[in-house]
């Protein structure tokens, strides 16, 4: 009898912990997926993706068990220059006709001093590589319509050559037309299902 009570109590604790995690859907109207890359080594050009979706499984009392899945439509790239955007869509860069999406699948979350790190697999241009993003939890709130919303900011950097995006031009006086390191900036707001 005592074993049954202990097992029942343990099951209740485990179920209560699991029940606290909730699934949130990314709200594209209040989120952004953007990037920056050096241009001719003198400035940084910023761009963003207009179409993306994803889910977050999250329990603010247990950040380490958070899970993230996201998909970005590569053809939705926007750098506020249509000629450049068309070049980014062709085979020199994203090759959107062959690789219409990039995806991110988290593999873990861990504490790093006062900060959080979100680890995951990024699939871009047909190549999957691990990436780490510095993660900031911005809080949870109930909106005026009764929805629960959660917010995160994340930043990281990738070397585009690791994803077989190697196009470049060498400038006459040295240097490259396009930097290899790409800064990633995410501002994510998601709504509880």
Per-residue pLDDT of the chain (193 residues; tens, 9 = 90+): 444 433 444 444 444 444 578 999 999 999 999 999 988 777 899 999 999 999 999 998 998 999 999 999 999 999 999 999 999 999 999 999 999 999 999 999 999 888 899 999 999 999 999 999 999 999 999 999 999 999 999 999 999 999 999 987 766 666 667 889 999 999 999 999 9
Q: Where are the domains of the chain?
A: 21-192
> Which stretch of DSSP H or E encloses residue 79?
none
The gap from C-alpha 140 to its chain's centroid, in whole angstroms, comes to: 19
16-to-2, 19, 20, 37, 147 alpha-carbon distances in Å: 21, 5, 7, 45, 22
CA 178, 181, 186: angle at the middle one, nearest 5? 115
The gap from C-alpha 122 to its chain's centroid, in whole angstroms, comes to: 8
3 state SS for 114-148: CEEEEEEEEEECCEEEEEEEEEEEEEEEECCCCCE
Instruction: Decide if domain 21-192 falls under CATH 1.10.10.60.
Output: no
Grouping H, G, I as helix, E, B as strand and the rest as coil, residue 35 is: strand
> Residue 4 gets which letter from DSSP?
H
CB atoms within 10 A of CB 102: 21
Cα distance between the two ends of the chain: 39
Q: What residues are paired with 157 via a beta bridge?
A: 183
Report the pLDDT value the prediction gives residue 179, as an integer from 0 to 100: 87
Find where tokens 């290899």 sit. Answer: 180
């Amino acid at each position: 009898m005592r074993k049954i009570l202990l097992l029942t109590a343990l099951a209740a604790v485990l179920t209560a912990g699991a029940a606290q995690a909730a699934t949130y859907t990314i709200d594209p109207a209040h989120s952004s997926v953007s990037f920056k890359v050096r241009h001719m080594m003198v400035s940084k050009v910023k761009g963003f993706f207009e179409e993306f979706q994803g889910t977050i499984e999250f329990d603010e009392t247990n950040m380490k068990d958070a899970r993230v899945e996201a998909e970005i439509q590569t053809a939705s790239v926007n750098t506020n220059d249509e000629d450049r955007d068309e070049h980014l869509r062709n085979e020199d860069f994203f090759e959107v006709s062959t690789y219409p999406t990039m995806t991110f699948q988290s593999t873990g979350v861990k504490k790093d001093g006062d900060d959080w790190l979100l680890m995951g697999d990024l699939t871009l241009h047909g190549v999957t590589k691990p990436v780490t993003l510095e993660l900031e939890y911005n809080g949870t709130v109930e909106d005026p319509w009764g929805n629960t919303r959660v917010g995160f900011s994340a930043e990281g950097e990738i070397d585009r050559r690791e994803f077989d995006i190697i196009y470049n031009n060498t400038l006459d006086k040295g240097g490259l037309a396009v930097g290899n390191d790409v800064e990633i900036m995410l501002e994510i707001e998601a709504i509880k299902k």
